[in-house]
């Protein structure tokens, strides 16, 4: 291998195996939860009651209400446990110092004229901002999963309907995050960076 090929090989972005596993499990469990969640939604739409707008069967998973619930709650455990172990992993390995928003990133967003540096800062901002959204999705989901045991979660939001609305809104928010996260990854590292997250 000549020197130019060696430099090109070294410049290719790489991700640790736990990061690849996290991304695969995360995206799979999210797709399962969205499809099964829409199946549950169709049984009693959040907006408009039973006569509200329904999602087409193509987007649904579970076949009926109980089937959707089984798929949804099973995928929820994969999703939540995946976030937990990855959180422990990035804490132990100190990857959080390079992944999450810091004082230097805030300063870069305010004064930096370097486009690449600002892209990195925006990337970390989005990566950090989604954490409370994901926790909110899990928190509200627990309240809907076990309303008798976690009745205090329902009380926090004032009513069951308010809890459903908040939980429903987290879905498009997470999808928007995934799109922005991918676009910023393309700007920062190109398609090679996206591919390195999975392969």
pLDDT of 149 > 70? The answer is yes
For residues 112-123, average pLDDT: 82
**H-helix or E-strand spanning residue 182:** helix 160-196
**Burial annotation 58-92 (CB, 10 A radius, 16+ → b, else e):** eebbbeeeeebbebbbebbebbbebbeebeebbee
Contact status, residue 184 vs residue 194, Cβ threshold 8 Å: no
Backbone angles phi, psi at 114, to 5 degrees: -90, 110
In this prediction, residue 175 has a pLDDT band, given cuts at 50, 70 and 90, of confident
Residue 54 gets which letter from DSSP?
-
Q: What is the pLDDT of residues 44-74, one digit of tens each?
A: 888 776 778 889 999 999 998 999 999 999 9
């Amino acid at each position: 291998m000549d020197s130019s090929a060696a430099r090109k090989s070294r410049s290719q972005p790489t991700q640790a195996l736990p990061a690849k596993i996290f991304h695969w499990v995360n995206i799979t469990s999210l797709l399962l939860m969205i499809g099964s969640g829409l199946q549950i939604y169709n049984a009693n739409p959040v907006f408009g009651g039973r006569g509200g707008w329904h999602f087409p069967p193509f987007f649904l998973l579970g076949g009926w209400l109980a089937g959707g619930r089984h798929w949804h709650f099973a995928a929820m455990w994969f999703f939540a446990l995946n976030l937990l172990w990855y959180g422990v992993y990035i804490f132990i390995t100190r990857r959080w110092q390079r992944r999450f928003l810091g004082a230097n990133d805030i300063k870069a967003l305010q004064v930096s004229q370097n486009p690449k540096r600002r892209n990195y800062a925006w990337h970390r901002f989005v990566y950090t901002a989604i954490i409370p959204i994901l926790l909110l999705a899990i928190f509200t989901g627990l309240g809907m999963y076990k309303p008798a045991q976690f009745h205090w979660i329902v009380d926090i939001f004032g009513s069951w309907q308010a809890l459903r609305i908040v939980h429903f809104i987290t879905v498009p928010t997470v999808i928007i995050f995934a799109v922005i996260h991918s676009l910023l990854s393309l700007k920062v590292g190109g398609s090679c960076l996206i591919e390195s997250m999975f392969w």
